[in-house]
């Protein structure tokens, strides 16, 4: 009766991984409970997710190694994994929202999010690739385009490209405050970019974890360029950023409970050190309490089942 923060399944977005083949389920060791699913199994799982009251998924591909190139051109192939999965999902679960990740790292042979020339990410060349990727995903059925690359100016370029193609109803969720975090490792395992990235990092375009004014500046720029929603990533180490972004701008604010945040709870629970279910629910509730309007998490379907009792 006196609870101040209520968590419901409609607050959640389920993170999902798709892979090539049929009837294929590949468990991800560093993400306990998660697997890469072929399109047919993805569709069946998404039917169950929608029945739980979860309104949307965030979709990420495991691109076959032979389709990875230095320029990441598979990203805008209209028959790539994400586009095929979107079309299949819209045929069978049409009221499930699809958030499409726009970045080149699942598709590049070097594992970076942008075009790499002489060891440097070239911002403006990357923008040309990102707009092609965004249009391909939106045309295939993505309801929300979510650029996670952190290139400067990409929101405005993508908005103009979508509008020019008659896709003005497609929303843009900007990864506005995406930090150069140590919590991304299991995700990079899941999409197969860890080995390609090697010892390189993404600190030239992702944000310094010590900065908050920069997060506000980046968010303001993305809103000015046409973002419909903004994101803070990761979530738990940045609850202050979530709260400040929400109160400063009032725009729908999404938080990404990332792979490392999820995996450390799962790992500790497997060792009997904590009550994993309680810790996961507490974590997601804290993110909602900080001001997030919705939360991307790999625990979404589990939490929705717990909430239903």
Considering the domain boundaries, does residue 2 fall inside one? no
> What is the structure's pLDDT at 205?
81
**pLDDT at residue 198 in the model:** 66
* Mean per-residue pLDDT over the chain, rounded: 94
Q: Is the entire prediction scored with pTM above 0.75?
A: yes
Alpha helices for 93-141 (secondary structure H): 123-140
Please report whether residue 72 resides in a domain.
yes
Domain extent, residue 284, equals: 9-308
**Residue 176 belongs to a domain:** yes
Predicted local confidence at residue 149, as pLDDT: 86
For residue 194, pLDDT over 70 is answered with no
Confidence of residue 51 (pLDDT cuts 50, 70, 90): very high
Q: Is the pLDDT of residue 233 over 70?
A: yes
Q: Give the pLDDT confidence score for residue 191 in this predicted structure.
A: 87
Q: Note the pLDDT tens digit of each residue in 66-93.
A: 889 888 889 999 999 999 999 999 999 9
Express each pLDDT in 236-290 by its tens digit.
999 999 999 999 999 999 999 999 999 999 999 999 999 999 999 999 999 999 9
Domains contained in the chain, number: 1
Question: pLDDT value at position 122?
Answer: 86
CATH of the domain at 65: 3.20.20.70
Calpha distance 169→147 (Å, rounded): 16
Residue 1 lies inside a defined structural domain of this protein: no
User: Considering the domain boundaries, does residue 14 fall inside one?
Assistant: yes
Residue ranges for the known binding site for Mg(2+) are: 218
Give the annotated binding-site residues: 218
Catalytic residue set = 178, 233
Inform me whether the pLDDT recorded for 193 exceeds 80. no
Partner residues linked to 121 by β-bridges:
116
Tens digit of each residue's pLDDT (9 = 90 or more) over 127-176: 999 999 999 999 999 999 999 888 899 999 999 999 999 999 999 999 99
For the segment 41-47, the average pLDDT, to the nearest whole number, is 98
Q: What is the pLDDT of residues 94-134, one digit of tens each?
A: 999 999 999 998 888 887 888 888 888 888 999 999 999 99
């Amino acid at each position: 009766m006196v609870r101040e923060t209520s968590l419901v399944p409609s607050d959640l977005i389920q993170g999902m991984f798709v892979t090539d083949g049929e009837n294929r389920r590949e468990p991800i060791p560093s993400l306990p409970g998660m697997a890469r699913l072929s399109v047919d199994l993805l569709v069946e799982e998404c039917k169950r997710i929608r029945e739980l009251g979860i309104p949307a998924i965030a979709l990420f591909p495991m691109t076959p190694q032979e389709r990875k190139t230095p320029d990441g051109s598979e990203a805008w192939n209209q028959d790539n994994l994400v586009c095929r999965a979107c079309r299949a999902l819209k045929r069978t679960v049409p009221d499930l929202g699809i958030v499409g990740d726009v970045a080149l790292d699942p598709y590049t042979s070097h594992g970076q999010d942008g075009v790499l020339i002489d060891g440097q990410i070239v911002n403006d060349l990357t923008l040309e690739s990102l707009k092609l990727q965004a249009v391909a995903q939106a045309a295939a059925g993505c309801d929300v385009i979510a650029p996670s690359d952190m290139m400067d100016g990409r929101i405005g370029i993508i908005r103009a490209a979508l509008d020019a193609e008659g896709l003005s109803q497609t929303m843009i969720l900007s990864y506005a405050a995406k930090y150069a975090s140590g919590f991304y490792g299991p995700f990079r395992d899941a999409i197969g970019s860890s080995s390609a990235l090697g010892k390189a990092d993404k600190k030239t375009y992702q944000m310094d974890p010590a900065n908050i004014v920069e997060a506000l500046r980046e968010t303001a720029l993305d809103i000015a360029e046409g973002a419909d929603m903004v994101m803070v990533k990761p979530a738990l180490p940045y609850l202050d950023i979530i709260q400040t972004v929400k109160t400063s701008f009032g725009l729908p604010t999404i938080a990404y409970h990332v792979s490392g945040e999820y995996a450390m709870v799962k790992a500790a629970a497997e060792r009997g050190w904590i009550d994993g279910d309680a810790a996961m629910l507490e974590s997601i509730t804290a993110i909602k309490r900080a001001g997030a309007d919705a939360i991307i998490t790999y625990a979404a379907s589990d939490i929705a089942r717990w909430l239903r009792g």
